[in-house]
Amino acid sequence: MMNALRLSMSTALLVAFASAANAQQPAPSPAPQPPAAAQPTLTPEQQAQVARQDAEMGAAALQIMQMIDSNRAGEVWDGASATMKSAVTRDEFVRQLNIDRNRLGAPTRRDSPVVSRSQFQAGEAVPAGIYINVASPTTFASQPEPVRELVSFRLDDDRTWRVSGYSVR
């Protein structure tokens, strides 16, 4: 089973960064960055922490994508956040992934991922919490143009990052 990711960056820093990113539902393509004035001022040490976390989360997302490539979607669901498990059953998650991936074929190329952060409040379309989304332009055998392959992670109450969603669009 996939190991959950431990928080590698202070929650306060992530909350500040996520709040400044104008939290919104993941867009079909990577969302544009807010104007420079809206970005929090990060120290060089904080910038290094963000870069490290981006690399860690990109690697974790690639691991999830490879598990799905290997028909291990059930294992992805098994290690997922409770928010994902309450939104979709294991059988439905596996069934929908099989439909999507059978339509697209095997992945032939994944480009560099783009990492974004967001924070949602209670009452929004997504369960409240802090999220990291990793989007990768991916080319599949049956789709000549790249599509966005997205893995979302949620910071759970135990300060562990867990998968909260996967999609291809």
**Do 153 and 92 meet the contact criterion of CB atoms below 8 Å apart?**
no
Give 15-65 as a DSSP string. HHHHHHT---PPPSSPPPPPPGGGS----HHHHHHHHHHHHHHHHHHHHHH
Domains annotated for the chain, with CATH where assigned, are 10-22+44-168 (3.10.450.590)
Task: List per-residue pLDDT tens for the chain, 169 residues long.
Answer: 444 444 333 333 333 333 333 333 333 344 445 444 456 788 999 999 999 999 999 999 999 999 999 999 999 999 999 999 999 999 999 999 999 999 999 999 999 999 999 999 988 888 899 999 999 999 999 998 999 999 999 999 999 999 999 999 8
Look-up of token digits 């409240």:
128
- Report the relative pairing of strands 107-110 and 160-168 from DSSP bridges: unpaired
Quick count: other Cβ atoms within 10 Å of Cβ 24? 13
**Global confidence as pTM:** 0.77
